[in-house]
Amino acid sequence: MTSRHKLTLLLKNIPMKKLLFSLLLAGCSLQAFAQQELIHPKEQQKQGLVSQPQPYIQINGQQIAQPSLALIKPDNIESIDVLKDENATGKFGDKAKDGAILIKAKSTAAFSTMQDIYTHYRIPAAQQNLKVVINNKLVKDTSLILANLDQIEKVEVVKQDITAPVRWSLNDEEEFLHITSKPQPKK
């Protein structure tokens, strides 16, 4: 291992690629607990919530939100580089204090922005102002959403489940644009 502690994973065979992507996606799914600032402080104490690591993630040099990973087809990934500690913060600053994940997509991969999703799914202008949730994870900055449109199962307007362990808002009547990804094929 080099002194830079850079781990490079070249993903040549498809089963290994899917396994690594699934592990990356599973790790990112812990983000639900990182949304604890939306839960009342007394509830935080009762539930004993702690902040989870939030690595900085890029695809082809463009930053993306963690929940967006569920909307990326593993077959579109060529390689993944993981930067840790000083290597990550040295390159990306404090936003990479929990590390950085640099994904290189295949040249044939086509990614869509949130605006493309609004257009493709014919989301009315009034609903384009709603907060966005991907697979039950709130996305704070919708400009960081990238997706393969064929990886999206459905887009719908929902109110949060008030009995859910993680709340997106303290307003029970607030509506959200919920994007659900297609399940990853099991092999």
pLDDT tens per residue across span 165-178: 778 888 889 999 99
pLDDT tens per residue across span 42-92: 444 444 455 678 899 999 999 999 999 999 999 999 999 999 999 999 999
Query: What is the number of other CB atoms lying within 10 angstroms of the CB of residue 142?
Result: 19
Q: Is the pLDDT of residue 162 over 90?
A: no
Average pLDDT of the residues of the chain: 80
**What size, in residues, is the chain?**
187
- Give the pLDDT score at 166: 79
d(CA 134, CA 148): 13
Where does the pLDDT of residue 27 fall: very low under 50, low under 70, confident under 90, or very high at 90 and above? low
The HSE-up count of residue 124 (CA atoms within 13 Å, CB side) is 4
pTM for the model stands at: 0.71
The residue ranges of every structural domain in the chain are: 7-46+53-181
